[in-house]
Amino acid sequence: MATYVLIHGAGDASYWHRLVPELRGRGHDVVAPELPSDDAVGLAGYTDTVVSAIGDRTDPIVVAQSLGGFTGPLVCDRVPVRLLVMLAAMVPVPGETAGDWWDDTGAERARREQAVRDGRSPDFDLVESFFHDVPPEIAAEAMTREQRSESASMWTDPWPLKAWPDVPTRFLLCRHDRFFPASFQRRVVRERLGIVPDEMDGGHLPALSRPKELADRLEAFRLECPAG
C-alpha cells in the first residue's frame, strides 16, 4: 500500500472527489487536505497544513495540481517523499511569487494565443477554460459549490527554496489544457525542471474529467519509482 498526498490548486479539496475512490480502490491510503483561506496564511501555512495532514505516514507520493505546484516542492523539502508528481502545475523558481509567475512565464499570453488558434474567444471564460471536457453533471455540481477564497498572501510570498528539492519528480501535462496549453507547459518544464513531461489527454482538471486514467498514470509512476 502506498500513500498519495493530493494538493489542490485554486479551489478546494473537493476537486479530488472522483480520484480518491479510484486510488483507495487500488488499496492505497489517500490524504487530500483542505488548504487554509486566511489572508495572513501563505505558502508557509499551506505547507504546514499538508505536512500536518501527512502526520507519521512514510514515503508518500505527493501530487500537486496547478497552483499547488508552489506548495508541493515545499512539502518535499520538509518530509521524505517517494515521488513528486506535478499535475498541470505551475513550476516556480527561487524567489518568484505566484502572482509574478504569470508574466515571468508568459502564461496568459500563451492561453490567449492558444484560444485564437483553436477558434475560440481569447477572453477568459471559467467553463470554457476549465470544464470543457468535464462530464456536465460533474461540472454543474462543481459550479454550485461555494468557492473557497485563496489566501492573499499565497500570491505574494516569494517561493523560499534556493533550488528544487532532491526528490524524484514527474510532470504530467494535459494535451487539451486550455488554461496552461501543452506547448507552453512543455517549454516551461524544459526550462525550469530540465525534464521532458509526461502527457495525457484531457483539459486542466483531469481528476474531474478522467479520474480512472489519471489514477492509472499515477500508479504507473509509482511502479517506476521504487519505495525508499
**Could you read off the pLDDT tens digit of each residue along the chain, which spans 228 residues?**
899 999 999 989 999 999 999 999 999 999 999 999 888 789 999 999 999 999 999 999 999 999 999 999 999 999 999 999 999 999 999 999 999 999 999 999 999 999 999 999 999 998 999 999 999 999 999 888 877 788 899 999 999 999 999 999 999 999 999 999 999 999 999 999 999 999 999 999 999 999 999 999 999 999 998 776
Superfamily of domain 3-224: Alpha/Beta hydrolase fold, catalytic domain (3.40.50.1820)
Buried b (16+ CB within 10 A) or exposed e, 75-99: bbbebebbbbbbbbbbbbeeebbbe
Cα 173 from Cα 190, distance rounded (Å): 12
Give the global pTM. Answer: 0.96
Q: What stretches of 97-218 adopt beta strand conformation (E)?
A: 169-174, 198-200
What is the tens place of the pLDDT at every residue in 41-94? 899 999 999 999 999 999 999 999 999 999 999 999 999 999 999 999 999 999
